[in-house]
Chain A
Amino acid sequence: MPTKPEILSSSPTGRSEVVLDIDQLAVHFQLQGGALSRLFGLKARRVRAVDGVSVSLKRGEVLGLVGESGSGKSTFGRALLGLVPATDGRITYHSQDRGERRVSEMRGAELRQLRTDLQMVFQDPHAALNPSMTIEEAVGHPLVIHKIASGKALKTQVAAALERVGLSPVERFLPKYPSDLSGGQKQRAVIARAIILNPEVLVADEPVSMLDMSVRAKILQLMLDLKQEMGLTYVYITHDLASAKYFCDRIAIMYLGRIVEIGPTAEIFENPRHPYTKALLKAIPEPDPDRMVPRDLPRGEIPDAAEPPLGCSFHPRCAEAIEGCGWESRDLRTLIEEHWTRKVEAYDDEKAVIGDLGSLDQPSTTARIGAGGAGQVRALLDRIKAEKPDEPLWKGVRDIEDAGNAVEVHFVPADAPKLRRAGGVDVACVLYPDES
């Protein structure tokens, strides 16, 4: 797909003006835990869906949030509208007529009022419309709620909005129920409901991922047209980098609740810096069979957000990991278990030497393993290392110390890398230390 053509901003004040300023936003969810721990009120674990994200959204731009499922991108989008309360940090909305407003501190009526300026388009058009409301009622309801129009004026505005999103002839769609419409038509109705209040910012949470391939481009084109006509600012949430390339001015790559790389679309695609970005780019299917790219996709799954890896949270899956990535006990466990899947016959003997691996589940830079004598454990670790000597985990081992029957493996401690300037983008990776 071609990169999106540069569109002149329709905002009179220019492109640099900030609409939404997000500062160290965090959204944590309390996990319910098991029945017993709830009964006894034990300490509940928390999922860090969004964990310290700072980004500012400029008027008239399209910011893409890209990441796998579970990266916190949808939660981030919902927090922008105040649909999920922020645990920490600040969201400031610079309104054109009402000045500076703190979204993260709003409650009740104030928050509801805000919705005339910030709107959302949902992923699943089949679920986003009330099945027992006609399209006319559904699309016009925002105006009724905010007491903007009623009676004849309401009907005209609804008709205008439907016309705008391409649901014409309008009379045919007004009395329909959502179940009578196709996915693409429903999504158009959802978009109509979102723009009828004339908002400034539209958060689009994977607006095309549930649609047929043939409809996707049309919906994206519609959104671009609306942006130009109405001077909208978009936050486009997606897992599909290809559509983001077509749609976005800037792209932020999210991983486990943090932004790992953010920059102009062209720069991200031409010169990806973060290993995760590179991996995502490689995952885009290539239509030309002669140009098959090697698909060394990230190994494993996205980790548990309740206990993210130490250091850089991408390091267990990273292809370019080095010593300072935050290696820890859980990585050692994975490594030993992988070794056993290759050498099944050695499992019984080696299990006796290593002993229980359960203690490695507690994230720590010191891993204590072994039950059958320090020498034997060391020999085993050497054997594992010899199998795959370039395994990045070994770079992160500072030293191995004898501790009675067991050994203690000390890893190089590391903090999570911060977003730092690198070329035209900001990237959070140890490979790109501070330029200044």
Chain B
Amino acid sequence: MRGLLRQIWNTKGLARWILLVGAIVTVVFVLFALFAPWIAPFDFNQTRDAAGVKFEKLASPGSGHLLGTNDQFYDICSRVVWGARTALEVVLLSVVLSVVIGVPLGLVSGFLGGWVDRVLVFVMDAIYTVPYLLLAIIFAFMLNDRIGSGIVAAALSLVAIYIPQYFRVVRNTTVSAREATYVEAARAIGARPTTIMRKYLFGNVVQSVPVIGTLNAADAVGTLAALGFLGLGIQPNEASEWGYDLSRALDDAQAGVWWPALWPGLAIVLLITGLTLVGEGLNETLNPALRRRRLLPVRFTPREKVDAT
């Protein structure tokens, strides 16, 4: 892990720009999420102002509402800002959960091998074969009955589709790292299998996890919006969700009312782009297969100076 931060800090050229732009875009959304109550002019489910006067329906941008209001009397600017919080909460929860489950599972499976490995690989591959959005819809349906349709439910349905990705990568790296001499050396000093996995394999197989993590995060934003768009995600009075807003705005957009659709859509695109750029930038930096050694430019001493000495 020590080298990781240094590597990121020392990135050069294209990788640096990709990483930088991605990080800036992502940080803006993170700020939205953290300080939503202060940035957003209204609450995400507020339809009346402080005096109790109901907002105008589909008010055009500028007139008291920076980005206008939508067909449910919500202030669009506030919805977009609060939406960042929902999106990032779901993304963070789902990525953390799938890492916490997927990585140890892959580690154990790759290290133990045998039938444990076979069964797990079979199950994970089976999950993989189903189109992921379909799978997310199924899980969202199933969870709807049990724990409702909040942020946790949305995150859990994403977890199910991301676990196999971490599992696969970690399992495959473990299988190759298992044969390394330092693992045999660990056995030779009397380490237990759990110690070998924790102290010798873990640090060497998680290298690619940050890359998948950020790319998955980008993917999660899209999937969450898709679920919301289909009406399976978070309900509008529970939290602000861009996908849901987008689906509501669709009919109005055909009538020339463009603002309720533009802003949530733009937010989705920007956040996905930002996270993807971070992921690609990390991949460019951390993936040894893509890394190139740079030669330092050679500078010759000017001739006069050499003569003078």
* Interface positions of A (Cβ within 8 A of B): 81, 83, 112-116, 119-120, 122-124, 127-133, 141-142, 145-146, 177, 190, 193-194, 197
Subset of 26 A-B contacts with CB under 8 Å: A83-B188, A112-B190, A112-B192, A115-B188, A115-B190, A119-B188, A122-B184, A122-B185, A128-B181, A128-B182, A129-B182, A129-B185, A130-B186, A130-B200, A130-B203, A130-B204, A132-B203, A132-B204, A133-B200, A142-B189, A145-B191, A145-B192, A145-B195, A193-B185, A193-B189, A194-B189
Tell me whether B190 and A145 are in contact (CB under 8 A).
yes
Most buried by B among A129, A141, A194: A141
Alpha-carbon gap, A131 to B180, bound state (A): 11
Known: A129-B185, A130-B182, A131-B204. A116 touches B190 (CB 8 A): yes
A112 to B184, CA, bound (A): 13
User: Complex: how many Å from CA A81 to CA B192?
Assistant: 15
Chain B residue nearest in CB terms to A130: B182
Size of the B side of the interface (Cβ < 8 Å), in residues, is 19
Distance in Å from the Cβ of B61 to the closest Cβ of chain A?
A: 53
Would you list the 6 A-B pairs with minimal beta carbon distance, nearest first? Answer: A132-B203, A115-B190, A127-B181, A112-B190, A142-B189, A120-B188
**Contact assessment for B199 and A141 in the assembled complex, using a CB-CB cutoff below 8 Å:** yes
Contact with A along B193-226 (1 / 0, CB 8 A): 0010001100110000000000000000000000
Q: Which residues of A contact B184 (CB under 8 A)?
A: 83, 122
Task: Kindly provide the distance from the CB of B182 to the nearest chain A CB, expressed in whole angstroms.
Answer: 5
Q: Which residue of A lies closest to B207 (CB)?
A: A132
> Is B12 among interface residues, defined by CB-CB distance under 8 A?
no
* Chain B contacts for A128, CB-based, 8 A: 181-182, 185
Beta-carbon nearest neighbor of B182 in chain A: A130
Bound Cα distance A116, B180 (Å): 22
Distance in Å: Cβ of A130 to nearest Cβ of chain B: 5
Nearest-CB residue, chain A, relative to B192: A112
Is the C-beta of B187 less than 8 angstroms from some C-beta in chain A?
A: yes
Judge whether A127 and B189 touch: CB under 8 Å: no
Residue of B nearest to A127 (CB): B181
**Cβ contacts under 8 Å, A113 to chain B:** 190
Contacts of A119 in B (CB 8 A): 188-189
Contact A124-B181, Cβ < 8 Å, known A132-B204, A141-B199:
yes
- Let me know if B204 and A197 touch, CB within 8 A: no
For A120, give its contact among B2, B182, B185, B195 (CB under 8 Å).
Answer: B185
B180, B181, B190, B199: the one within 8 Å of A146 (CB)? B190
Q: Cα distance A68–B184 when bound, in Å?
A: 22
Chain A residues positioned under 8 Å from B1 (CB to CB): 132
Q: Which residues of B contact A130 (CB under 8 A)?
A: 182, 185-186, 199-200, 203-204
* Smallest Cβ-Cβ distance to A129: which chain B residue: B182
Nearest opposing residue in chain B for A124, CB measure: B181
A113–B190 Cα distance when bound, in Å, is 7
- B residues in contact with A131, CB < 8 Å: 182, 204
Q: A132-B203, A145-B195 are in contact. Are A127 and B182 (CB under 8 A)?
A: yes
> Which of A83, A114, A127, A141 has a CB less than 8 Å from the CB of B191?
A141
> In the complex, what residues of A have CB within 8 A of residue B188's CB?
81, 83, 115, 119-120
A-B contact sample (19 more), CB < 8 A, given A127-B180, A133-B203, A145-B189:
A112-B191, A115-B190, A119-B188, A119-B189, A120-B185, A120-B188, A127-B181, A130-B199, A130-B203, A130-B204, A132-B1, A133-B199, A133-B200, A141-B199, A145-B191, A145-B192, A190-B185, A193-B189, A197-B189
Q: How far is the CB of A170 from chain B (nearest CB, A)?
A: 20
Tell me the minimal C-beta distance from B197 to chain A in angstroms: 12
CA distance A115 to B191 in the complex (A): 9
A113 to B184, CA, bound (A): 16
Q: Which of chain B's residues has its CB closest to A146's CB?
A: B190
CB closest residue in chain A, given B184: A83
Tell me, rounded to whole Å, the shortest Cβ–Cβ distance linking B244 to chain A.
Answer: 44
A-facing residues in B97-136 (Cβ within 8 Å): none
Q: A127-B181, A129-B182, A130-B199 are in contact. Are A141 and B189 (CB under 8 A)?
A: yes
B163 CB → nearest A CB, Å: 24
A115 to B188, CA, bound (A): 6
Which of A120, A123, A130, A194 has the most C-beta atoms of chain B within 10 angstroms of its own C-beta? A130
* Chain B residue with the shortest CB-CB distance to A123: B181
A122 to B185, CA, bound (A): 8
CB distance from B208 to the nearest CB of A (A): 14
Across-interface contacts of A112 in B (CB, < 8 A) = 190-192
CA distance A145 to B182 in the complex (A): 15
In the bound complex, CA of A120 to CA of B192 (Å): 17
Residues of B within 8 A of A142 (CB): 189-190
Distance of B190 from chain A, by nearest CB (Å): 4
Using CB atoms, name the residue of chain B closest to A190: B185
Q: Which residues of A contact B191 (CB under 8 A)?
A: 112, 141, 145
Q: Hey, which chain B residues are within 8 Å of A132, CB to CB?
A: 1, 203-204
Q: How far is the CB of A193 from chain B (nearest CB, A)?
A: 7
Most B CB atoms within 10 A — which of A112, A114, A119, A193? A112
Interchain CA distance A128-B186 in the complex, whole Å: 9
B206 to chain A: closest residue by CB: A132
Cα(A133)–Cα(B196), bound, Å: 12
Which residue of chain A lies nearest to B1 when distances are taken between CB atoms in the complex? A132
B42 CB, min distance to chain A CBs, angstroms: 49
Name the A residues within 8 Å of B203 (CB-CB): 130, 132-133
- Give the CA-CA distance A128 to B204 in the complex, in Å: 14
- Give the chain B neighbours of A141 by CB distance below 8 A: 186, 189, 191, 199
Considering the chains assembled together, what is the distance between the CA atoms of A127 and B182 in angstroms? 6
Per the bound structure, the CA–CA distance linking A193 and B187 in Å amounts to 13
Give the CA-CA distance A194 to B185 in the complex, in Å: 9
Most buried by B among A119, A132, A145: A132
**In the complex, are the beta carbons of B185 and A115 less than 8 A apart?**
no
Q: Closest Cβ of chain B: how far from A125's Cβ, in Å?
A: 9
